[in-house]
Structure 1
Amino acid sequence: MTRYRFFTATSLDGFLADEHDSLDWLLSQPTGQESILPFDDFIAEVGAIVTGRTTYDWVLEHGDSVEGAWVFTQPTFLFTHRPIAEPRSGITAVSGSPTEHRAAIEQAADGKDVWIVGGGDLAAEFARAGMLDEVFVSIAPVTLGAGRPLLGGRFALELREHGTNGALLEARYALVGERR
């Protein structure tokens, strides 16, 4: 069965990026060799990716590959309301609710997991649609005061596992549901 997972990082005060969409605060954090969910293990379970436009544009500008290239090989669904000048191979631009695209996303995942790369508002849309099973978050010892929220909405989560990775506190949560 396909799981929908939000694997991300946040500041201590709950922001994914600062008010300028910068991740400098995160990229300067020391990490260690230990993790409760090493990225290589996580990504091996991912069959499809879902991302929002701001995250997509940031990765294209700052990713660790050829300039302007999408860094992931899995089929990617880009939720956007703006046209894409030059669509990259493996990227499917979509708009609307997550449920409208569920069948296509799960077919692309081919029995593996779906990684909701970002952002927090998109992850919240998936949660409200009943399409978010797990939140794995690395919490950095820094506050930003403003920026892009971790998860836009009110949700109940259940802690499943926790640990550390260098300066980061890691936590794995199951989504219980939306809080009214």
Structure 2
Amino acid sequence: MREIIYDAAVSLDGFIAGPGGDASAFPGEGDHIAPYFDRLAGYGTVIMGRHTYEYGYGFGLEPGARAYPHMDHHIFSTTLSLPDEADVTIVRSDWRSHLDKLRAGDGAPVYLCGGGQFAGWVLQQGLIDRLILKLAPLTLGAGVPLFAGGQLTTQWQRRSVTHYASGVTLLEFTR
């Protein structure tokens, strides 16, 4: 069974982006960046919601293209429109069943990219196996929360803590 790993940058006050989805306050340079790219290389599939996928458009991602070329993409949305020749899968219904099939397959772990509403839903389904949080030394005050939607108490066990000179602390938890 493949793990679903939520690997996200988060502010001290629990936001993965500021108002309007602005993530520019997060440190984009430093000794925490190379380990992130190393982790990305180890994922085989990426799952995300529409807002996270469309966020890539601001960085040159073409609609229908893969944000991470080596990963199989599954975008969970009832409203996203993409060209017929899209290189990503849009999941419009039966989200739980689709995630169960992804988890049951063989291969590298599944990367839960982005967050907010979709990550909150995946958490409520009990499908996040591991959290990898890049805790940035900043507060945003408002924006996109790490988990949005209904409240669900989930117990996590700390697996590791890594402190970087950049000020970022990497926290890893398992369910």
Q: Same fold (TM over 0.5)?
A: yes
Unaligned runs of 5+ in 1: 176-180
**For residue 95 of structure 1, what is the aligned residue in structure 2?**
92
Please show how residues 1-180 of structure 1 align to structure 2 within 5 Å: 1-26=1-26, 28=27, 30-32=29-31, 38-62=35-59, 69-73=65-69, 74-86=71-83, 89-96=86-93, 98-106=95-103, 110-152=106-148, 153-154=151-152, 155-165=154-164, 166-175=166-175
* Fraction of identical pairs, as percent: 25
Count of matched residue pairs: 169
CA distance in 1, matches of 2:32, 2:137: 18
Residue 129 and residue 40 in structure 1: after superposition, are their counterparts in 2 closer, same or farther (change >3 A)?
A: same
Contact 1:30 1:167 in 2 (8 A): no
Q: Residues 3, 158 of structure 1: CA spacing in aligned structure 2 closer, same or farther, 3 A cutoff?
A: same
Q: Name the SS for the 1:146 alignment partner.
A: coil
Task: Provide the TM-score with structure 1 as the length reference.
Answer: 0.81
* Structure in which a larger fraction of residues adopt strand: 1
For residue 51 of structure 1, report the CA deviation from its aligned partner: 0.6
How far did 1:122 drift? Answer: 1.4
Structure-2 separation of matches of 1:162 and 1:170:
6
Unaligned runs of 5+ in 2: none
Q: 1:140 to 1:33 in 2, by over 3 A?
A: closer
In 2 relative to 1, CA 87–124 (structure 1 residues): closer, same or farther, beyond 3 Å? farther
Alignment RMSD (CA, Å): 2.4
Runs of 4+ with deviation above 6 angstroms: none
CA deviations over 1:92-111 (Å, ceiling 9, x no partner): 1113453221254347x642
Return the alpha-carbon distance in structure 1 between the equivalents of residues 15 and 112 of structure 2: 16
How many Å separate the matches in 1 of 2:33 and 2:9?
Answer: 16
